[in-house]
Amino acid sequence: MARIGHRQRHDTRPRLHMASLGKNRLVGLSKYAIVAHMDILFISTSLPYPPNTGGAIRAHGIIEGLRLAGHHITLLCFHEGDIPADLGITIHTIPIPHRSKWDRLKTLLFTRQADISKRLYSDVFAQKLIDLLSGHQYDLIQFEGIEAGCYLPIAKRHQPSAKLVFDTFNAEYMLQRNIFEIDRQSLKRLPMAVYSYLQIGRIKRYERHLCALADAVIAVSEEDAVLLRPLGDANKIHVISSGIWVEEYAENTTPMVLHHPAIVFTGKMDYRPNVDAMVWFIDEILPLIQKKRADVHLYIVGQQPHARLEGFKAHPNITVTGRVNRVLPYLYGADVYIAPLRMGSGTRLKLLEAMACGCAIISTTIAASGLNEAVKSAMVIADSPSDIAHHILMLLDNRQQRMMMGESAKKHVATYYDWSAILPHILDVYARLGLKVD
């Protein structure tokens, strides 16, 4: 159990994360590096080390890039357990708060507040933030995701001179609307559809409030930016896609030993869009594939599998892994990688990871919506169960096509979505706020 206020001492020497990631990370950052130091406080709802979920990959990439550019980074986050050594930043951790179903029900029935606005609120975390703001002047405070937004008013009140940046992962109100449209089609999912319907307006008001408080709002895709701009000052909204450190994906390419042909999906498996994707795939698409390839095996790789996935664990052709130490071996072992999402927005980091590992990818239009057209050209886009099944079967029968798609994917993700190409745009956003980044 992590101690309240656990701190890892800051090291101001610029050095490469994990010591072996090479000099390519500094490409694109050199004009900013170590000329003017900013003191930056990051507020995150989880420790982004190791970066094994979408939000963690994004936070890790931004923090690592800013550290390499010579800026002083402090991270306040929820975490229970050990912290990796030698990260080169100051880390304060607070135990994860646990909100009862009764508390959530009271919020739903007796208030107009969005459930997500209270999901990870903690008095202990809030007090630690106040202590940090009272003891040090920060140039910039960045909030990673909407669940960290509940602490934005505290920063505004206790350190009004700092620039506040709200880094959104989705236009959350539209995500809830998409979930509602899917869940309303199933009688079993009707209670969750009602929940999502009630949340749409509440979340929209909450996002409008957070956008008003922040000095800058970062959207991860143009699609999200279009949805956020009407909520307030459109000039505050900046589009900065998520990325990956491509070098990391070439360091250890040893594949996991899998049952072949292997279809792989990765993601945080208590996240509703991921759960829906797998239930839909197993119910509607996998049977079509097994009619012609009875030996096909589906791997669902990711932490905290939802109860809706429990019944699939007994299926002889399905493996639900739960949390794994490393996702990459599964990607390198996959014959086909799938992203059959029907809801959500943002930049699909799972797709970027699969591309960096050279996977042959089949994605729905929604799953690939945050990516540029050049990158989409390196994967198959299909939306109906019959089309998805057809393309999977074609790829399983054509190893050469899979290899060609994989090489194209690696080339495109390195060109457009390496953090070294993206981070200068983040620093440009900071510069527009009047901060000295060079």
Residue with tokens 């994906």: 249
Question: Is cis: bond before 50, omega within 30 of 0?
Answer: yes
Does the domain spanning 248-416 belong to CATH 3.40.50.2000? yes
pLDDT band, very low/low/confident/very high, at 438 (cuts 50, 70, 90)? low
User: What is the C-alpha separation between 371 and 379, in angstroms, rounded?
Assistant: 11
- DSSP secondary structure letter of residue 283: I
Single-letter code of the amino acid located at 177: R
Segment 165-175, tens digit of pLDDT: 999 988 999 99
**pLDDT at residue number 18:** 33
- pLDDT greater than 90 at residue 26: no
**pLDDT at residue number 20:** 36
Within 8 A by CB and 6+ apart from 291, the residues are: none
- pLDDT greater than 60 at residue 158: yes
> In degrees rounded to 5, what are phi and psi of residue 223?
-60, -40
The answer to whether 25 and 104 are in contact (CB under 8 A) is: no
Segment 276-306, tens digit of pLDDT: 999 999 999 999 999 999 999 999 999 999 9
- pLDDT greater than 90 at residue 253: no
Q: Report the pLDDT averaged over residues 257-263.
A: 97
Asked if domains 6-241+419-432 and 248-416 share a fold, the reply is yes
CA atoms within 13 Å, Cβ hemisphere of 193: 11
User: What is the C-alpha separation between 218 and 145, in angstroms, rounded?
Assistant: 10
- pLDDT greater than 60 at residue 12: no
* Nearest of 161, 76, 57 to residue 125 by alpha carbon: 76
Topology at the third CATH level for domain 6-241+419-432: Rossmann fold (3.40.50)
Domain ranges of the chain: 6-241+419-432, 248-416
